[in-house]
Amino acid sequence: MKLYLDPPMSGQDNMAKDIEMLKRAREQREALIRIYSWDRPTISLGYFQKPEKILKLEVLEKYGINWVKRPTGGRAVWHHKEITYAVALPVDYPSLPEGVTSAYRFISEPIYKAFIKSGLPVKWARQEQNLTEACFGAPARHEIIYNGHKVVGSAQRRTSEAILQHGSILLAAQPEIFAACLQGINEELLVKQLRYRTITIPIPSTKLKKYLIAEFRRYFV
- DSSP code at position 64: T
Q: Are 96 and 109 in contact (CB under 8 A)?
A: no
135 is annotated as an active-site residue: yes
Residue from 135, 140, 155, 190 carrying the catalytic annotation? 135
User: How many whole angstroms separate alpha carbon 149 and alpha carbon 88?
Assistant: 26
Q: How many CA atoms within 13 Å lie on the side-chain side of 21?
A: 29
Question: Following CA atoms 20, 165, 32, 199 in sequence, which dihedral angle do they give, to the nearest 10 degrees?
Answer: 120
Helix residue ranges, H only, the chain: 11-28, 51-54, 57-63, 100-117, 175-180, 187-197, 205-219
Active site residues: 135
